[in-house]
Amino acid sequence: MNYEAILVETKGKVGVITLNRPKALNALNDQLMDELGHALNEFDKNEQIGCIVLTGSEKAFAAGADITLMVNYTYMDAFNGNYVTRNWEHIRQIRKPVIAAVAGYALGGGCELAMMCDFIIAAENAKFGQPEIKLATIPGCGGTQRLPRAISKSKAMDMCLTARMMDAVEAERAGLVSRVVPLDKLMEETLAAATTIAGMSLPIVMMIKDSVNRAYETTLSEGVQYERRMFYSTFASEDQKEGMKSFLEKRLPNFRNL
Ligand code: CAA
């Protein structure tokens, strides 16, 4: 596939996808979402890749779904699912970790896209918001569901009902982002985190991602049982033997993803 709305590159064992519609502040249209889905799949399949980074520009991670496309949509356009929201949950099916490196605006679908990633590292100029109410519509890709889980009902209501933007400091305090870094260090810090993850045993990385995500889908006792079964299964992996032996032998592990 030829990419036009995104840039794709690899940095060691990290796959980097950059949203690239600068004139529209990376507004998310069908072409961009199709290309993003394709690129994510390719990195997920690629055995040389251990972690994926999704980023935008210094001014905007993404300013939301493309309003120029939605303005004349009918109910049936939206309901038939061929537009706007058609493959937005795709990112959730990726088994390798996806880190969002967010600078500038992450609004509407942009905020929702960042929340679909496994964690968010924000630059100091990042601004998060769900301003759909100003357009007389509502978040359509998980904003009303993931925000309350990420930052509490009260803050989610505040964000979605007033359309105010949350800056990076507030977003970190609220738990929406894992860390805030200076803008000029955003990619360096994110790539360092991604490289650390990509140096671990990939099957174990994927088990941890799966297990943490389970916490959002189930009760505590079911989730703990799920985690326990995952924990037991790590003892079937060669990397577990290597990880523990290397610790005892005071050397670095050599994981083979087995
Ligand atoms: N869709 C389409 N185009 C967009 C866009 C969007 N979501 N956001 C920005 N753009 C375009 C602008 O129209 C403008 O294009 P032109 O130069 O051709 O006029 C260009 O990007 C630059 O934008 P601004 O001139 O507005 O830049 P600014 O710095 O003054 O403001 C902003 C930046 C505050 C992000 C402002 O652009 C803005 O409010 N954007 C819309 C944000 C929004 O409402 N997002 C929610 C969309 S709905 C949604 O996402 C639904 C869902 O859940 C799936």
Question: Which residue minimizes the CA distance to atom 13 of ligand 1?
Answer: 24
> How far apart are the CA of 171 and the centre of ligand 1, in A?
21
The reported pLDDT for the residue numbered 196 is 98
Share of the chain above pLDDT 70, in %: 98
Nearest ligand 1 atom to alpha carbon 66: 1
CA–CA dist 6, 42 (Å, integer): 14
Please state the pTM of the whole predicted model: 0.96
Average pLDDT over every residue of 209-238 = 96
pLDDT digits (tens, 9 = 90+) for 87-118: 777 888 899 999 999 999 999 999 999 999 99
> How far apart are the CA of 27 and the centre of ligand 1, in A?
7
Q: What CATH homologous superfamily does 6-198 map to?
A: 2-enoyl-CoA Hydratase; Chain A, domain 1 (3.90.226.10)
In the 3-class helix/strand/coil scheme, how is the chain assigned residue by residue?
Answer: CCCCCEEEEEECCEEEEEECCHHHCCCECHHHHHHHHHHHHHHHHCCCCCEEEEECCCCEEECCECHHHHCCCCHHHHHCCCCCCCCHHHHHHCCCCEEEEECCEEECHHHHHHHHCCEEEEECCCEEECHHHHHCCCCCCCHHHHHHHHHCHHHHHHHHHHCCCEEHHHHHHHCCCCEEECHHHHHHHHHHHHHHHHCCCHHHHHHHHHHHHHCCCCCHHHHHHHHHHHHHHHCCCHHHHHHHHHHHCCCCCCCCCC
The reported pLDDT for the residue numbered 83 is 63
Q: Which residues line ligand 1 (CB under 6 A)?
A: 24-25, 27, 63-68, 84, 105, 107-109, 112, 131-132, 135, 139-141, 143
Q: Any idea which architecture 201-249 has in CATH?
A: Orthogonal Bundle (1.10)
The catalytic residue positions are: 65, 109, 112, 132
Nearest ligand 1 atom to alpha carbon 107: 45
Question: Which residue minimizes the CA distance to atom 3 of ligand 1?
Answer: 24
pLDDT digits (tens, 9 = 90+) for 141-167: 999 999 999 999 999 999 999 999 999
For the chain, residues classed under CATH 1.10.12.10 are 201-249
